[in-house]
Structure 1
Amino acid sequence: MTFRPRPLVLATLSSFALVAAAAGGAVAAAAPDDAAAVPQLAATDTDGDSLPDAWETNGYDANGDGVIDVDLPGMGATPDKKDLFVEMDYMDGRLASTAALDRIVQSFANAPISNPDGSTGIRIHLDAGSARGTAYDLGGGNQVPYDSNLQPAEQQTDAIKSTNFASARKAVFHYMLWADDYDNSCSSGNAFAIPNDTFIVTMGPKCSWTVTENMNVGTFIHELGHDLGLTHGGSDSVNYKPNYLSVMNYHFQFDGVPRTSGANWFSYSNFAPPALTETSLNESSGLGSAASTWKTKWKCPDNSTRTSGAANLGIDWNCDGDAVDTASADINRDGSRTTLTTQNNWANIRFGGGDVGGGASQNKVKTPAHELKEMTQQEYEHEH
């Protein structure tokens, strides 16, 4: 493990005490031998990112010994703008490029989320250790032994995390692993729970993935989205919805959401188009007036995928050559004709999944397996 804590020492209160003080509560004793101890009490969190103001101002003292274990302000955090921290461990050849990491950072910086300091966006802090330069070196980020098949995936990921991820970081950093494959699934990744504090991206050579920068960017943001409480269908886990304009949708995970400008959107949805009732689709209405700068994708009866023009205009949902019908069609090809609802993802982000965050105890949620099934290499090849 190569984590290098910064030895910033507080002469008075530990950050555990500072959190209690910020909440106006009594200071409880922290077990000094438990570096992962997280204070289980309310704390002031001005920006709502689940990282208490005291941590973002003074640093986080995990065990109450007066030594700062995670120097959040030294890493650029402040209490009046939302911060996200992700440690990235990686197997040989699997770590995304600096350009891909830059794009991930920019995607979160562009988030339509307001902050108390008057700015918009989220500061995401990615830690790859020394592998991607000083901008992405926050003292962690390790190359781990190569394993072409993590099996069972969650237990093996947790074992790698336990060996390579400093326990004092659990309250601050999400943990992710750039890996090869898991459970012989040829799947692109897994977050194991919604929300959560851990995820993997697995598009390695075992399943003959040909990985582009777009795929790394989209899949990282997709899996982190599950950590942040987002699902494949927005309002539910139903996939391939044409009105769900988000990288959480399999249609858009690898290529982004198409825009009329030609610049695809590698991000979460920032508005919710109207619901689509598959038994009564008004083709001339498309996705409504708010979708004028967007395109979308849908599935035809022959299971082929089509891409629209401007999504506020007519869309040939039943693929009969015109866009004037009131059609009945299974446009996400899930075997049923239902009402497809959607979501503004950015308005529904949930910070503090799993062990991340201060205050109340945060347990991992057991998520049904079908909600965590991810795009496989075979599905990707079929779609492309």
Structure 2
Amino acid sequence: MLHVGAVVLVTLLLAGVVLPAAGTAAQDTSGGGADSPNARQAQTDANATDTDGDGLSDSRERSVYGTDPTDADTDGDGYPDGMEVRCEQAVPGADPLRADIYVEVDSTQSATLSDSVRTSVIDTFDSAPVSNPDGSSGIDFHLVRDEINLSVNGTVYSKPHAGPGNDIYDFRANHSEHRSDGYYYVLVTENVAYNGEEYFVGAGRPQVAAMERFDSTRITASLFMHEFGHAMGFGAHRDGIDEKRYSRAEYDSVMNYNGLYKQLTYSNGTDSVGRNEWQFVAENRTQPEVQCAANGTCTDRCSKD
């Protein structure tokens, strides 16, 4: 979730004063009148109050956006309401009343994730069994394809590795265009190593993942969902993850090695393992910090309220 300090900085950069609508002062039969300067200032202050520090005035949250003026992030997706409303160029298509997840995808190859893979992943999140403040269910998953043909120094490791261009953190540091915007980072490449072992075809760490691409839409989409699950915080130490000791009926998740390449979805908690992974995604996942408002890189991509 967004740090308090970041919320304050978002407020400083995004907040704008909303002028109150002109009104008519109470009149009596002896003639007209005007309210006092103090009364006008009080009305202006009331309209400009931003209780939760999300960059939107309380009055606009109630009357225009339908967001909660006491909660900086009404839908709990890690983006303050003001950023979702105003920063279309940083988080295009964001909705403060429906959960959003943003992912930047780069590739060391001439091709990246296919349209069919993208559609499969996006549709899976769209049908997720989680509820939103606007009454809808699902999560809006934004896959932003960025650079291709990036130079790579052999195998891409999942941990920091000596030398340039050979671990996922090198690529995120040198090529991510949206890291300060709170995007996850995924690299599509030819050879991946997990914990130094090169026979793996994918690896996920908090906020980042690297994976190989296959001709099969289902296999590639399933691998993406598995490694992205690790990027969101599904660690291998959890019961059943990266194991084959449970059948799919007992643990119905793409994080189960018996489900990998056969399905795309996470568990809803109704199987024998009983872990509601979709609820974790919606409420407790590991999230990249939204830094753009703090360091000033997204102010030119945000409109005034």
Q: Which residue of 2 aligns with 1:202?
A: 212
Give 2:228's match in structure 1, choosing from 220, 224, 228: 224
Letter in 2 for 1:255: K
Alignment equivalent of 1:71, drawn from 85, 90, 100: 90
User: Matched residues in 2 for 1:233 and 1:94: separation?
Assistant: 33
TM-superposed deviation, 1:357: 4.5
1:157–1:188 Cα change, 3 Å: same
Distance 1:76 1:147, change over 3 A: same
For 1:25-64, list aligned pairs within 5 A.
Answer: 44-59=72-87
SS of 1:245's partner is coil
Counterpart residue identity of residue 149, structure 1: T
Question: Who is 1:283 aligned against?
Answer: none
- Is contact 1:231-1:248 (8 Å) kept? no
Task: Work out whether 1:116 is the aligned partner of 2:116.
Answer: no
Distance in 2, matches of 1:153 and 1:253, equals 23
| C-alpha contact (below 8 Å) 1:94/1:180 kept by paired residues | no
2:172 is equivalent to residue 161 of structure 1 = yes
RMSD: 3.1
Q: What SS does structure 1 have at the residue aligned with 2:156?
A: coil
Aligned with 2:173: secondary structure?
helix
| Structure 1 residues 191 and 88, CA gap change in structure 2 (3 angstroms) | same
- Provide the C-alpha distance between the structure 2 equivalents of 1:343 and 1:25, rounded to a whole number of angstroms: 32
2:288 to 352, 355, 360: 355
Mapped contact 1:234–1:345 kept (Cα < 8 A): no
Q: Which deviates more from structure 2 when the two are superposed, residues 243-252 or residues 225-234?
A: 225-234
Whole-angstrom CA distance in 2 between matches of 1:185 and 1:226: 18
Counterpart check, 1:271 vs 2:299: no
Greater helix share, structure number:
2
Deviation digits for residues 14-52 of structure 1, max 9, x if unmatched? 13899x9452499xxxxxxxxxxxxxxx96111111111
Distance in 2 (alpha carbons) for counterparts of 1:121 and 1:268: 13
How many residue pairs were aligned? 224
Matched, 1:215 2:244: no
TM-score normalised to structure 1 length: 0.52
Please list, as runs of the form range in 1=range in 2, the aligned pairs for 1:285-324 lying within 5 A after superposition: none
Q: Partner letter of residue 225 of structure 2?
A: I
Query: Quick one: which of 149, 154, 160 aligns to 1:148?
Result: 154
Query: What letter corresponds to residue 348 of structure 1 in structure 2?
Result: F
Q: Tell me the equivalent position of 1:23.
A: 52
Q: SS of the counterpart of 1:170?
A: helix
Q: TM-score, normalised by structure 2?
A: 0.64
Q: In structure 2, how many angstroms separate the alpha carbons of the residues matched to 1:22 and 1:188?
A: 48
Residue 244 of structure 1 deviates from its aligned partner by: 0.7
Give the residue type in structure 2 aligned to 1:49.
Answer: D
Matches within 5 A, 1:241-280: 241-242=246-247, 243-256=250-263, 266-274=264-272
Alignment check: 8 A CA contact 2:110 2:148 kept: no
2:187 aligned partner, one-letter code: L
Correspondence 1:170 to 2:187: no
Structure 2 residue matching 1:99: 3-state secondary structure: helix
Query: Could you list the runs of 5+ residues in structure 2 that have no partner in the other structure?
Result: 1-10, 18-48, 56-69, 162-166, 292-305
Asked if structure 2 preserves the Cα contact closer than 8 Å seen for 1:114 and 1:120, the reply is yes
Structure ID, larger Rg: 2
Query: What is the Cα deviation at residue 90 of structure 1?
Result: 0.5
Q: Distance in 2 between matches of 1:107 and 1:151?
A: 28
In 2, Cα distance between equivalents of 1:91 and 1:170: 22
Do 2:232 and 2:287's aligned partners in 1 also have CA atoms closer than 8 Å? no
What is the alpha-carbon distance in structure 1 between the residues aligned to residue 82 and residue 54 of structure 2?
14
**What one-letter code is carried by the residue in structure 2 that aligns with 1:185?**
E
Identity among equivalent pairs (%): 24
1:254, distance to aligned residue in structure 2 (A): 0.9
